[in-house]
Amino acid sequence: MAIATDADLLTAVLRCYKPHCRYLTSAEVTRDADVVSGSGVMHIPESCYIDDTGHLNSVEVGICYNQLLYQVIAASVRDGLLPELSSWSMDDFWRRQLRDVLIAHFSCDFRRPLDPRSFRMALTIDRAVRRTLRPGADPLVSLETSFQCWDDKGGACSGAARVAIVGS
């Protein structure tokens, strides 16, 4: 099942970002068997923190990852794609988007420089587990994810991130 960009959902998901840092311009979220993934088009006309380096850097990859992750989670909640978040409503997502979705680990490997002005990113939730870390603690959802970025000039990077959604 593929869900193309819902412009209203994307606008709402990116509302928490400063206007000049809204890099995700379109996205598609899919569920194939038990695997939820998303892909999106990214556009960074100007770095939000450094002079133009001419290539994408790991800080901006992190921001792009975060935006696509939020879109994947929002679509998953809305469309019931992730059983681990089946108790969430969209109101829960909006309330918890910034507060409860934590990137616990992030790594990125660049193989060839990427053009930040136009590239694609794909993100896959490789594993989702609802668990409690200790007796009496609130449960959390742990997401093991992987991602790739590429452009039309052969630029490429890939990485992995572990996400904790606390208070789930």
Spell out where 18-100 has E strands: 24-32, 35-42
The continuous run of DSSP H or E covering 108 comes out as strand 101-112
> What is the pTM for the complete model shown?
0.94
pLDDT in tens, 129-168: 998 878 887 789 999 999 999 999 999 999 999 999 997 5
pLDDT attached to residue 167: 77
So what's the pLDDT on residue 164? 95
Band of residue 100 on the pLDDT scale cut at 50, 70, 90? very high
Q: What was the pLDDT predicted at 61?
A: 96
Model confidence pLDDT, tens digit, residues 58-96: 999 999 999 999 999 999 999 999 999 999 999 999 999
**Which residue, 129, 120, 111, is CA-closest to 150?**
120
CA 33 to chain centre: 20
Nearest to 60 by CA among 139, 110, 116: 116
**Under CATH, domain 2-165 is a member of which superfamily?**
Rv0098, thioesterase-like hot dog domain (3.10.129.30)
* Contact indicator for 149, 158 with CB cutoff of 8 Å: yes
Contact between 23 and 64 (Cβ < 8 Å) = yes
CA gap 24, 6 in Å, rounded? 12
